[in-house]
Amino acid sequence: MALARKRILIIIGGGIAAYKTLELIRRLREAEAEVRVVMTEAAKQFVTELSVASLSGGKVFADLFSLTDETEIGHIQLSRDADLLVVAPATADLLAKMAHGLANDLASTLLLATNKKILVAPAMNVRMWLNPATQRNVATLQKDGVLFVGPDDGDMACGEYGPGRMSEPAALLIAIEAALRHDTAIPLPVSPHVGAVDLSGMRVIVTSGPTHEPIDPVRYIANRSSGKQGHALAVAAAAAGAKVVLISGPVVLPDPKGIETRHVQTAAEMLAAVEAALPADIFISAAAVADWRVAEIAEEKIKKGVETTAVLKLAQNPDILHTVAEHKTARPRLVVGFAAETSEMLDRAQAKLARKHCDIIIANDVGAGSDVMGGDENQVTIVSEDKIQALPRMNKDEVARQLIARFAELLQTKSGRGSHG
Ligand code: CTP
């Protein structure tokens, strides 16, 4: 378990989202992390020291000038002993103090004195978040290497709507794991810049949906993929000006307007359609391609007979993503795969990145209760060779816009602009 024995210092700021931090502490301890907690004075208005102490299994630190704390551990040591500092919720006030190097209470002093990575989870009213002063502070902190997770868009406790909600504990856990293991950049929502994403002149191929592998004329092997995320990516790429070819397995979604859509049933047909659509600048393999097909498809409907069990012989399907990533003459400049995992998501995503020779893997947890397959929301983590970026849980259309913005950025930094026209 990636979090076992990791020492996490949590700083709870004074915001209504502090209640979510209790759940975060509980989950961190469940994952066997060692948690120490510091609360600001304002935080005590929202959650009690007693509940934090019970959940964290230890003393809560709150006072800069506590003689007992100083003799036992000392505030400099407290900040250095940790593997990671997590500020959740990070209020506008705490962000401002951090950006300006103020140190007038225990929390801000630790943040200034630490030599460890800091991950912040902002939470505040939407106007406070959008205020140029806060945005300036955020930009300063990002430049200083402070990692951000969230804030999410949504209804706020104060009755307004917009960015400002603290990320959910599950997203915070992923961000913490990523921050501990890698040189991460956990981004702010990129929506304000999405309008500026320009893929004009670029060619993008997207696969989407499941494949159906026939057993006989009336039966097939399938999976629960709805095609929503793949189709949304095709739409977002087209909205950014790309010429998109969408290769879709059997889905109930309508073909997106204005996008060339090719329909296939099987993995073999999908591979042929992808190869016919090459070359491209970006290949996005969002389809849930069946790993197996029936070795010999029956020409007639298979009859029950007298046996109470039946055996289907399966043959492995070609790996489309791998084939494209290894293409000798027409490898797209950016090859993106997905990793739908039910456990050990980051490890498996990284293994897949290496095994399939692609540039990026978009990892998502499709375990029971995630409601990702077929659902409208997704929480993805972008895994590349040198970076891991956890995005907040969002609507699949918004996930698609943010991913396309990232891909465009990556292409630009990779080799300057160019295209297959
Ligand atoms: N993929 C593909 N062709 C296949 C199987 C998968 O192109 N025959 C692509 C998917 O579109 C996805 C990525 O590979 O982008 C990972 O798919 P996934 O099913 O998670 O991985 P597998 O390679 O099937 O590995 P495993 O089932 O062992 O997790």
Helix (H) or strand (E) holding 380: strand 380-383
> Nearest 5°: phi and psi at 234?
-60, -45
Cα 319 to ligand 1 centre (Å): 7
Cα 355 to ligand 1 centre (Å): 11
Per residue in 149-171, pLDDT tens? 888 877 767 777 778 899 999 88
Per residue in 348-368, pLDDT tens? 999 999 999 999 999 988 876
Cα 288 to ligand 1 centre (Å): 7
To test the ligand 1 pocket, which listed residue (293, 338, 346) has its Cβ within 8 A of the most ligand atoms? Answer: 338
How far from 381 is each of 171, 268, 337, 339, CA to CA, in Å?
9, 29, 12, 10
Torsion angle, CA of 410/415/420/421, rounded to 10 degrees?
80
In the sheet with 203-208, reading across from the earlier edge strand, the strands are 260-263, 243-248, 203-208, 282-285, 334-341, 360-365, 380-383, 388-390
Select from 1.10.3720.10, 3.40.50.10300, 2.60.40.790, 3.40.50.720 the CATH code of 193-415: 3.40.50.10300
Report how far residue 5's alpha carbon sits from residue 34's, in angstroms, rounded to the nearest whole number. Answer: 6
- Looking at residue 194, its pLDDT comes to 41
Residue from 1, 139, 157, 158 carrying the catalytic annotation: 158
Identify the residues whose C-beta falls under 6 Å from ligand 1: 267, 285, 287, 289, 291, 317, 319-321, 337-340, 352
- How many other β-carbons are positioned within 10 Å of the β-carbon of residue 101? 10
- Looking at residue 205, its pLDDT comes to 98
Instruction: State which ligand 1 atom lies nearest to the alpha carbon of 321.
Output: 7
Please list the ranges in the chain whose pLDDT falls under 70. Answer: 1, 67-73, 156, 182-196, 368, 370, 415-421
CATH 3.50.50.60 is held by the domain 7-189? no
**Residue identifier of the C-alpha nearest atom 21 of ligand 1:** 339
Instruction: State which ligand 1 atom lies nearest to the alpha carbon of 207.
Output: 11
How far from 93 is each of 174, 213, 376, 419, CA to CA, in Å?
25, 57, 34, 46
Is 358 tagged catalytic? no
- Looking at residue 332, its pLDDT comes to 98
- Looking at residue 222, its pLDDT comes to 96
Angle between helices 132-143 and 92-100 in degrees, nearest 10: 50
Report how far residue 20's alpha carbon sits from residue 9's, in angstroms, rounded to the nearest whole number. Answer: 16
Q: Where are the domains of the chain?
A: 7-189, 193-415
- Looking at residue 190, its pLDDT comes to 41
Cα 258 to ligand 1 centre (Å): 28
Instruction: State which ligand 1 atom lies nearest to the alpha carbon of 340.
Output: 20
- Looking at residue 296, its pLDDT comes to 95
Question: Token pair 């800069």 is at which residue?
Answer: 64
Cα 149 to ligand 1 centre (Å): 28
Q: What is the pTM of this model?
A: 0.65
- Looking at residue 419, its pLDDT comes to 47
33 close to 4: Cβ distance less than 8 angstroms: yes
Give the burial string for 139-164 (b: 16+ CB within 10 Å, else e).
eebbeeebbbbbbbbeebeeeeebbb
Residues, the chain, total?
A: 421
Q: What percent of the chain has pLDDT over 90?
A: 62
Per residue in 300-332, pLDDT tens? 999 888 788 889 999 999 999 999 999 999 999
To test the ligand 1 pocket, which listed residue (270, 321, 360) has its Cβ within 8 A of the most ligand atoms? Answer: 321
Mean pLDDT of the chain: 89
Q: Extract the tokens encoding 84.
A: 């990671």
Instruction: State which ligand 1 atom lies nearest to the alpha carbon of 316.
Output: 8
